[in-house]
Amino acid sequence: MNEEQSVGRVLDQIREVMGPSGLEYDVSIVDTNSKDRTREIALSKGANVIDEPRKGYGRAYKTGFEKASGDVIATLDADCTYPAEEIPRLFAMLDKENLDFITTNRLADMEEGAMSFKHKVGNTILNVTTRLLFRVKIKDSQSGMWVFRKAAYLRLDVREDGMPFSEEIKIEAFRKLRAKEVPITYRRRVGEVKLSSWEDGWKNLRFLWRKRFRGSRARS
């Protein structure tokens, strides 16, 4: 939503790395009523634009996954923070290591200014809580760059439509699939920050506790 300053650059980066890779691919942008030129720029760069008027981080991803035609899906934010050049390597890793799901660790290598101190503290709290409650070996529960098999995703019980979708898909994947976390370089954002730090952080934390004990009741 409203990423006209960066979406064209991200699409150019994808084309530059995927063209020489020899992989057959297409690119989709899920747009939530952007008021700027995001849609027009994406179309001019050859992307499929999927309209999703319902708000929500998770809702946008679910709609995109439903519409995706490929067997393997890679995700990126439209703000230049994630390294598109890593996609071919992660695709190859998925096949070579017979994996279903790869997520990335932004905290392993961050450019200066890529994440505020407040966000680092919040991420640390959420990461520790995720590991303690679900016993999954994840260092970055909030990363938004993943590569996975669409058929494997359909086996997951991912219910959230908001920001907690990011941690939920990882919890589900690491408990049910052949999953791995890979370090990447995380970059400074281009354009306006849209996160509501404290509100989204509390939603994510509350979700972790709800999912943990909702799951316990379901198994009893």
- 117-143 pLDDT per residue, tens: 888 999 999 999 999 999 999 999 999
Q: Band of the pLDDT at 213, cuts 50, 70, 90?
A: confident
Question: Which neighbouring-strand residues pair with 101?
Answer: 148, 179
- pLDDT at 201 exceeding the cut of 70: yes
Q: What is the pLDDT of residue 145?
A: 98
Cβ(130)–Cβ(208) under 8 Å? yes
pTM recorded for the entire structure? 0.91
CA dist list (Å): 54 to 28, 33, 61, 67, 135: 17, 9, 11, 15, 33
pLDDT score of 216 more than 50 = no
Q: Domain 7-219 sits in which CATH superfamily?
A: Spore Coat Polysaccharide Biosynthesis Protein SpsA; Chain A (3.90.550.10)
How many C-beta atoms lie closer than 10 Å to residue 199's C-beta?
10
Cα–Cα distance, 29 to 49 (Å, whole number): 5
pLDDT number for residue 3? 94
Mean pLDDT over all residues of the chain? 92
Contact 158, 58 (CB under 8 A): yes
Residue pLDDT, tens place only, 62-121: 999 999 999 999 999 999 999 999 999 999 999 999 999 999 999 999 999 989 888 899
Segment 34-55, tens digit of pLDDT: 999 999 999 999 999 999 999 9
Q: Name the residue with higher pLDDT: 195 or 13.
A: 13
Structure confidence at residue 215 as a pLDDT band (50, 70, 90): low
d(CA 101, CA 177): 7
The full set of domain ranges for the chain reads 7-219
When pLDDT is averaged across residues 148-177 and rounded to a whole number, the result is 96
Which residues on neighbouring strands pair with residue 72, listed in sequence order? Answer: 149
Is 193 a residue whose pLDDT tops 70?
no
Structure-token pair, residue 169: 């898909």
DSSP characters for 139-206? Answer: S-TT---EEEEHHHHTTS-----STTHHHHHHHHHHHHS-EEEEEEEE----S-----HHHHHHHHHH
Percent of the chain with pLDDT over 90: 83
pLDDT at 218: 41
Q: Once rounded to an integer, what is the mean pLDDT over residues 160-189?
A: 96
